[in-house]
A and B are shown apart, each in its own frame.
Chain A
Amino acid sequence: MDGMDTTLEDIYTQYPDTVKKNRKKHIVIKSETDEACPQIEANTRTIPGIISQRGCAYAGCKGVVVGPIKDMITITHGPVGCGYYSWGTRRNKARADATTPKDKIYSQLCFTTDMQEPDIVFGGDKKLAKMIDEIVSAFHPRAINICSTCPIGLIGDDIGAVAKAASERHGIQVLAYACEGYKGVSQSAGHHIANNNIMQNVVGTGTERKPGKHVINILGEYNIGGDGWEQERILQDCGYTVNSVLTGDASYVDIKNLHLADINLVQCHRSINYIAEMMETKYGIPWLKVNFIGIEATNQSLRQLAKCFNDPELEARTEEVIARETARIEPSLEQYRKICQGKKAFAFVGGSRSHHYQHLLKDLGMEVVVAGYEFAHRDDYEGRQVIPTIKSDADSKNIPELHLKPDETMYREAHQYLDLTKEQFEALKKEVPISYYEGMYPDMKSGEIMIDDCNHYELEELIKKLKPDLIFTGVRDKYIAEKMGIPAKQMHSYDYAGPYAGYNGAINFAHDVTNALSTPAWKLIVPPWEREEEPESEVQEGAPHA
């Protein structure tokens, strides 16, 4: 695609040479002639001074993975800011259920040691220990997380020792996450740190398997806007018991029993593949990459999952659910398609969503022409087969790798989890990509662009050049796009709507996207005194471009 190459070349011209050299490696144009995905650089440092969308390790650890665990109190150890900003700002919905009563849900509270200058000078260990004591005696939580922020690592507070002592004093688990913001190059480091700790200290400590014939976990689903609940609804209808959704609406108690399920579904590959893999190594549990965003994607995920169990009844029920739900939503979807059809979108979200949403957009007749992640690794773009070839750099070496071994008493072969013979399991693996993720690349079309860690400048230039009809991104970029005349939807928070997953989610999403494209104000941007022709002459569906 020569045309596209020159488009990109124009974009680079304003960059200093070093920046240009660096950024070029983060951009790949899909080409029909390439069999495999060309290498894309990812999970490397953000260039200083560049306006990036990325956050930090603390945001990945506390904000994404451990913060949503509803029955744990999470204390942010550091000055006030980090804890404050991560208070209630992700929409990980949580509610009381059989394992967690209302008075054990702490999601609305924010706990921070609020380090002051003397604490920074003399150390904050004592303050942290005292805060834990006060919290335990007031709230009696089941367990506590401590997440540290930038200055804590520098002043050398030993949060591990504080946690251990507190744990002994109070007889509950107190987990310490050294997730200082400067670790790694993005949120990704924090996901990894959180995964390690949960895997090492929580998973496997429970003994209660939830009742049901097929018990499953959904990993990497954060229940934004109730996505996890819609997935549970569908999966229950098909005949599964959802053991735990990690970590949206998850409880500490359920996570302890994570290893007692038959299979792990992996929704967000980036944030949680570590746990899926570690559970595979330690317990032998197989995992399946799924996507419940989009109708076709949901159907496919359900069918693949059903195939994993040797249970014709399950497969039949799955087909029933698919038929019933699809028939239910198709007519209203058709209405929305009329407006969405043929529209071009950009998607820049997190480490998996930009791929997931491509499926739902396709269902609506839209195409994602530019897609990228904030903090993905190469495998999220290129597929897991590249993992052995990824060189570990200084920044990733700072995050410890756990080298787990099969558990002596609990390890079982993958096929045993699924009640299959070894042969059946081998046959299954040919049909269903167990323990594999192909990345975003295969779903992109020729000429479309994959861009890692897209920054403000590139966003602005790409909008000017490619004139998308809609942009899916986070809150920081939403208003930039809109000021440029392009509708934008926040895909971290869904603009406070949702769920967007599953069948009901598809309808919500289609409705919201249609509204974003067609809200009447887009046609009124130019004031009447500046309009050259009658406004009717330029009427079109969706947003006009400036």
Chain B
Amino acid sequence: MLECVPEGKIEHTTGKINPAKTCQPIGAMYASLGIHGCLPHSHGSQGCCAYHRMHLTRHFRDQVLASSSSFTEGASVFGGASNLKTSIKNIFKIYNPDIIAIHTTCLSETIGDDVPNIIKQSEIPEGKVVIHTNTPSYVGSHITGFSNMCKSMVAYLAEAQGETKKEQVNVLPGFVNPGDMREIRRIVTALGIKLVMFPDTSGVLDAPLTSKYQMFPEGGATVAEIRDSGNSEVTLALGAFASNAAADLLQEKCGVTGIPLKLPIGLKATDDFIMALKDWFGVEIPKEIAIERGQVIDTLIDTHFHYQGKTVAVFGDPDHVIAMTEFAITMGMVPKYVLTGTPGKEFEATITKMLGDAGITGSKVKAEGDLFELHEWIREEKVDLMIGTTYGKYIARKEDIPLVRFGFPILDRAVHPLMPVVGYRGCLRLIEQISNALLERRDRDALDEDFELVL
């Protein structure tokens, strides 16, 4: 494995080797799937759309439908207006979605197609909606694309009817799994608060198999719900990279107060999430939630000696990594290498502060990095555990380090999209995975005389 990687320091300053991010449109496509009855549409050549659908399908193991403007060379020269107009017409006639959410690709961006104008010139049936976002792949990452589509949902759809606000919260859940979105909904509902969550891929990408096929499954935030988000009192933006832009626009456009929070992954971030809801709505915390939290504390104390003091490399998408790093610190672990592929100075600042507050020194932190770099760090000095996406498995095997799969994408394990990592229950799942990875490792390495029944 990776024998081609030579010993010693390697000059690597240009391009990416083993990227830790991908391109904007896939994020926009994922966000669009979180609108009920939505067909994401990729404005460009069909290869991008095929790749994005394939990649999402592999992570979620569920159908991902999206159409493409199918550019050939002609459209690349003369512009894609006619392809897009034809697409819109065909899509409504053949698939009849409630809404089409268009995103661009690096091709249509480079040509400079004026998508809003093309939409204006298109035939849109009564009661149907077409929205768009710009997702040039040479800026940001898939997280930027997700964020841009969320922002466009607000720009096109959110409306405020007058000054008075409804006693309801908007939750922007960030680029998390449908299982996480379902769990977020459960927690807010348990607190007795009415919520509008968008995007919401639960019920879409974790839809049940009933053999009654629905091209557009029951899940997702409806267009009406997203419109109504302008009437909510407050928005919780979970994850700065994925959600802040939409929350800011909602505040600007409709006067809805936006509160930026971390993804509620880990104990503190979940506490913050619940306290934000409690403070705003003045609700009592129900016993079931209090019990769940208490179970997390109980488990942390029961299991700390499995992981405390262990060094860990955390990598993946920025919002995930920020929350996970905080939780690792809470668990008493030492985040030694922290890396995301998405660009953004705030990432480094946030992590560095967290590490500083915890008195941890000597860690390496990087935004806009790649996994080849992470591997170089690890080769210099090993860690006990890696936490991140499937792409870390080559390093994990080569350097013989256990890997806990976390974030997007996970292409080689099953069931994860349905199992939440957010909230207190998510904490338990992460503690279970982390402890067990280290315990498996201990069993595997133990000499016969040290091999114990009880650990």
Q: Residues on A close to B: CB < 8 A?
A: 14-16, 19, 45-59, 75, 78-87, 89, 102-106, 108-117, 119-120, 127, 130-131, 134, 137-139, 149-151, 153-155, 181-186, 394-395, 398, 456-457, 460, 474-476, 478-480, 482-485, 525-526, 545-546
**B138: CB under 8 A from chain A?**
yes
Known: A80-B16, A85-B55. Contact between A134 and B73, CB under 8 A? no
A532–B140 alpha-carbon span in the complex (Å): 54
- Contact in complex: A182, B13 (CB < 8 Å): no
Chain B, residue nearest A137 (CB) = B11
Chain B contacts of A112 at CB under 8 A? 15-16, 19
Chain A contacts of B23 at CB under 8 A? 79-82, 84
Cβ distance A522 to chain B, nearest Cβ, rounded Å = 9
A149–B109 alpha-carbon span in the complex (Å): 14
Cβ distance B179 to chain A, nearest Cβ, rounded Å = 17
A50–B41 alpha-carbon span in the complex (Å): 10
A478–B65 alpha-carbon span in the complex (Å): 12
- Contact in complex: B57, A475 (CB < 8 Å): yes
- Contact in complex: B11, A138 (CB < 8 Å): yes
Known: A109-B4, A181-B45, A457-B94. Contact between A476 and B138, CB under 8 A? no
- Contact in complex: A49, B67 (CB < 8 Å): yes
A14–B91 alpha-carbon span in the complex (Å): 11
Cβ-closest 7 pairs across A and B: A56-B47, A81-B23, A49-B87, A485-B211, A546-B211, A49-B90, A79-B137
Chain B contacts of A85 at CB under 8 A? 22, 51-52, 54-55
A183–B75 alpha-carbon span in the complex (Å): 11
Chain A contacts of B106 at CB under 8 A? 78-79, 81, 120, 149-151
Chain A contacts of B87 at CB under 8 A? 48-49
A456–B49 alpha-carbon span in the complex (Å): 14
Chain A contacts of B93 at CB under 8 A? 14-16, 19
For B12, B63, B138, B215, which residue has the most chain A Cβ atoms within 10 angstroms? Answer: B138
- Contact in complex: B138, A138 (CB < 8 Å): no
Cβ distance B286 to chain A, nearest Cβ, rounded Å = 30
Cross-chain contact of A115 among B58, B138, B212 (Cβ < 8 A): B138
A78–B138 alpha-carbon span in the complex (Å): 8
Chain B contacts of A103 at CB under 8 A? 3-4, 6
**B89: CB under 8 A from chain A?**
yes
Chain B contacts of A149 at CB under 8 A? 106
Known: A182-B72, A479-B57. Contact between A114 and B41, CB under 8 A? no
Chain B, residue nearest A486 (CB) = B211
A456–B65 alpha-carbon span in the complex (Å): 9
Chain A contacts of B1 at CB under 8 A? 108
- Contact in complex: A150, B107 (CB < 8 Å): yes
- Contact in complex: B46, A54 (CB < 8 Å): yes
**B349: CB under 8 A from chain A?**
no
Using a CB-CB cutoff of 8 Å, which residues 65-111 of chain B contact chain A?
Answer: 65-76, 83-84, 86-91, 93-95, 105-107, 109-111
Cβ distance A179 to chain B, nearest Cβ, rounded Å = 10
- Contact in complex: B136, A117 (CB < 8 Å): yes
**B61: CB under 8 A from chain A?**
yes
- Contact in complex: B73, A476 (CB < 8 Å): no
Cβ distance B421 to chain A, nearest Cβ, rounded Å = 23
A120–B372 alpha-carbon span in the complex (Å): 24
Known: A109-B372, A150-B44. Contact between A479 and B213, CB under 8 A? no
Known: A19-B90, A182-B75. Contact between A81 and B51, CB under 8 A? yes
Cβ distance B444 to chain A, nearest Cβ, rounded Å = 23
- 1/0 per position for B134-155, CB-CB distance to A under 8 A? 0011110100000000000000
- Contact in complex: B73, A457 (CB < 8 Å): no
A525–B212 alpha-carbon span in the complex (Å): 10
Chain A contacts of B90 at CB under 8 A? 16, 19, 47-50
Chain B, residue nearest A457 (CB) = B94
Cross-chain contact of B73 among A54, A116, A398 (Cβ < 8 A): A398
- Contact in complex: A484, B141 (CB < 8 Å): no
Cβ distance A143 to chain B, nearest Cβ, rounded Å = 14
Cβ distance A293 to chain B, nearest Cβ, rounded Å = 23
- Contact in complex: A154, B107 (CB < 8 Å): yes
**B405: CB under 8 A from chain A?**
no
- Contact in complex: B57, A476 (CB < 8 Å): yes
Chain B, residue nearest A126 (CB) = B14
- Contact in complex: B46, A52 (CB < 8 Å): yes
Chain A contacts of B211 at CB under 8 A? 483-485, 525-526, 545-546
A117–B137 alpha-carbon span in the complex (Å): 9
Chain A contacts of B57 at CB under 8 A? 475-476, 478-479
Known: A15-B94, A49-B86, A85-B55. Contact between A151 and B19, CB under 8 A? no
**B453: CB under 8 A from chain A?**
no
A109–B371 alpha-carbon span in the complex (Å): 10
Chain B contacts of A546 at CB under 8 A? 210-213
Chain A, residue nearest B22 (CB) = A84
A315–B137 alpha-carbon span in the complex (Å): 56
- Contact in complex: A45, B15 (CB < 8 Å): no
Known: A81-B48, A82-B51, A120-B110. Contact between A110 and B19, CB under 8 A? yes
- Contact in complex: B19, A84 (CB < 8 Å): yes
Cross-chain contact of B17 among A51, A57, A109 (Cβ < 8 A): A109
- Contact in complex: A483, B209 (CB < 8 Å): yes
- Contact in complex: A56, B50 (CB < 8 Å): yes
**B415: CB under 8 A from chain A?**
no
A115–B137 alpha-carbon span in the complex (Å): 8
A104–B6 alpha-carbon span in the complex (Å): 11
Chain A contacts of B69 at CB under 8 A? 48-49
Chain B contacts of A394 at CB under 8 A? 73-74
Chain B, residue nearest A46 (CB) = B70
29 contacts between A and B (CB under 8 A): A14-B93, A15-B93, A49-B70, A49-B91, A50-B90, A54-B46, A59-B51, A75-B15, A80-B21, A81-B22, A81-B26, A82-B51, A87-B391, A89-B55, A108-B394, A109-B372, A110-B17, A130-B14, A151-B106, A151-B107, A181-B44, A181-B47, A182-B71, A182-B107, A183-B73, A184-B72, A475-B54, A478-B57, A483-B213
Besides A55-B46, A84-B21, A475-B58, 16 more A-B contacts (Cβ < 8 Å) are A19-B93, A49-B89, A52-B68, A59-B50, A59-B51, A75-B15, A82-B47, A83-B19, A87-B18, A181-B47, A457-B95, A476-B57, A480-B65, A482-B209, A545-B211, A546-B212
- Contact in complex: B67, A51 (CB < 8 Å): yes
**B407: CB under 8 A from chain A?**
no
Cβ distance A105 to chain B, nearest Cβ, rounded Å = 6
Cross-chain contact of B4 among A115, A130, A139 (Cβ < 8 A): A139
- Contact in complex: B25, A81 (CB < 8 Å): yes
Chain B, residue nearest A78 (CB) = B106
Chain A contacts of B391 at CB under 8 A? 87
Chain B contacts of A151 at CB under 8 A? 106-107, 109-110, 137-138
- Contact in complex: A525, B210 (CB < 8 Å): yes
Chain A, residue nearest B65 (CB) = A51
Chain A contacts of B272 at CB under 8 A? none
Chain B contacts of A16 at CB under 8 A? 89-90, 93-94
Using a CB-CB cutoff of 8 Å, which residues 211-238 of chain B contact chain A?
Answer: 211-215
Cross-chain contact of A55 among B26, B51, B58, B83 (Cβ < 8 A): B51
Chain A, residue nearest B12 (CB) = A134
- Contact in complex: B14, A460 (CB < 8 Å): no
- Contact in complex: B110, A155 (CB < 8 Å): yes
- Contact in complex: A134, B14 (CB < 8 Å): yes
**B387: CB under 8 A from chain A?**
no
Cβ distance A174 to chain B, nearest Cβ, rounded Å = 15
